[in-house]
Amino acid sequence: MNFADILLVSDYDNTMTGEMHLVPEENLCAVRKFTEKGGAFTIASGRGMREWYESFHEVPFNAPLILSNGAAIFDAKAKQALYEAVLTDRQKQLTKDLFRILPAGCCGLIEVGDKSFIPAEIYEQSLFKGFPGQEILTPPMEEIPDGWSKVCFIQLPSEFNLQDKKTFEGNGFDTALVDQAQKLAEEAGLSGIRSLPFVYEISPEGVDKGTSARRLQQLLGRKLLAAVGDAPNDLALLHAADLCFVPKGSILESEGAVPENAILTVRCEEASIADVVKILEEM
C-alpha cells in the first residue's frame, strides 16, 4: 500500500486525542505507518501558533500545520507561517464590541502570530487568571498589536476540569449571547462559529480549516484530501475533503450534524486515527 497521493488532515482535541486528552499510542503508530508509506499527515486545529509545540510535538506529522481554524498554515520545521489571514481594522473594532457584551468571568483570547493575548480589562475577572501552563500576555486592549488571526471567547464552567469530558459537553454560553455575537460577526464579514459549548471563535472572512486544507493539498501536490474531525469547527474541513471521517460519540454525531458522506470510526478514546489508517489501507 502506498499513500503518496494522500494528504490526511486530523483535528487534534477529541479526534487525535483520547481519554484524559492524551494521544493513544495506537494513533502515533498508525501515523508513523501512514507517513512511512508516503502519506502526508498534519493536524488542523483551532489552537494557534503559540500552542503548536505544547500540543502537537509528540505527533509525527510531516506536513505544515493548519492552525487557528485555518487562519494560518505553519511550517513547524522552519518555524514560519506559509499563510496567515488577519482581521481588518474595521473587523477588529467590531470584535472589540463583542468584549463589551461578555458576561462576568468570560474570557477573550486574541491570537497574533505566535503570541496569545487576553486584554487586561477582562483578565482580572476571568477564570483564566492563574490558570496553569499558560504563556499568555495581558496588556490593555489598546496595546495589543495588529495582526489578529483569531479571537476566541471562552466561558469556562465555575468548576472547570480539563480531564472531565462532561465539562466539554454540558456547559457554555447563553444562546442569546451567541446569537448577538454571531450577528455582529456577520455584519463585520467575519467567520463566527461555536466550536464547543463554551467556546465561540471568530476568524477573518473566508477562513476555515477546509479552505486551508485544500490550499495545503495544492502546495504539496497531493491528489486526495482525507480529513477527520469531531466538532462544528471541523465541518468545513470535512465538507472540503474527498474522504471524511468522524469518530463515534462526537459532538457532531450527538447534534445530528455528521456529513452524509462521512465514514464513522471508533470513538476517539479507542484510537480513531488508527481506525482511519486501517480503513484507508483496506480501500
Q: Do 93 and 192 fall into the same domain?
A: yes
Assign 3-state DSSP to the chain and report helix, strand, coil percentages, each to 5: 35, 20, 40
Q: What angle, 0 to 180 degrees and rounded to 10, lies between the N-to-C axes of helices 89-99 and 175-187?
A: 160
* Residue 18 grid coordinates: 483520547
Half-sphere exposure of 16 (CA within 13 A, CB side): 25
pTM listed for this prediction: 0.88
Q: Do 131 and 186 fall into the same domain?
A: yes
Q: Which residue among 163, 183, 203 closes a domain?
A: 203
pLDDT at 165 > cutoff 80:
no
Would residue 96 count as lying in a domain? Answer: yes
DSSP string covering 84-98, please? E----HHHHHHHHHH
Q: Do 95 and 195 fall into the same domain?
A: yes
* Residue 208 grid coordinates: 476555515
Tell me, what's the pLDDT at 149?
93
SS3 169: helix
Tell me, what's the pLDDT at 223?
97
Would residue 188 count as lying in a domain? Answer: yes
Q: Do 199 and 211 fall into the same domain?
A: no
Residue with cell 502526508: 40
Q: Do 64 and 19 fall into the same domain?
A: yes
Q: Do 153 and 256 fall into the same domain?
A: no
Other CB atoms within 10 A of residue 130 CB: 7
d(CA 229, CA 243): 12
| Residue, of 262 and 171, whose pLDDT is higher | 262
Would residue 75 count as lying in a domain? Answer: yes
Q: Which residue among 203, 238, 263 closes a domain?
A: 203
Does residue 69 come out as left (phi exceeding 0), alpha (psi in the -120 to 50 range) or beta?
left
Q: Bridge-partner residues for 9, per DSSP?
A: 42, 227
Q: Which residue among 159, 176, 203 closes a domain?
A: 203
- The pLDDT tens digits of the residues spanning 132-154 come to 456 788 999 999 999 999 998 87
- The pLDDT tens digits of the residues spanning 11-31 come to 999 999 998 889 999 999 999
SS3 51: helix
pLDDT at 128 > cutoff 80:
no
Q: Do 199 and 221 fall into the same domain?
A: no
Residue 163's CATH number: 3.30.1240.10
Residue 247: which domain range?
6-84+207-282
Domain count across the chain: 2
Q: Do 155 and 241 fall into the same domain?
A: no
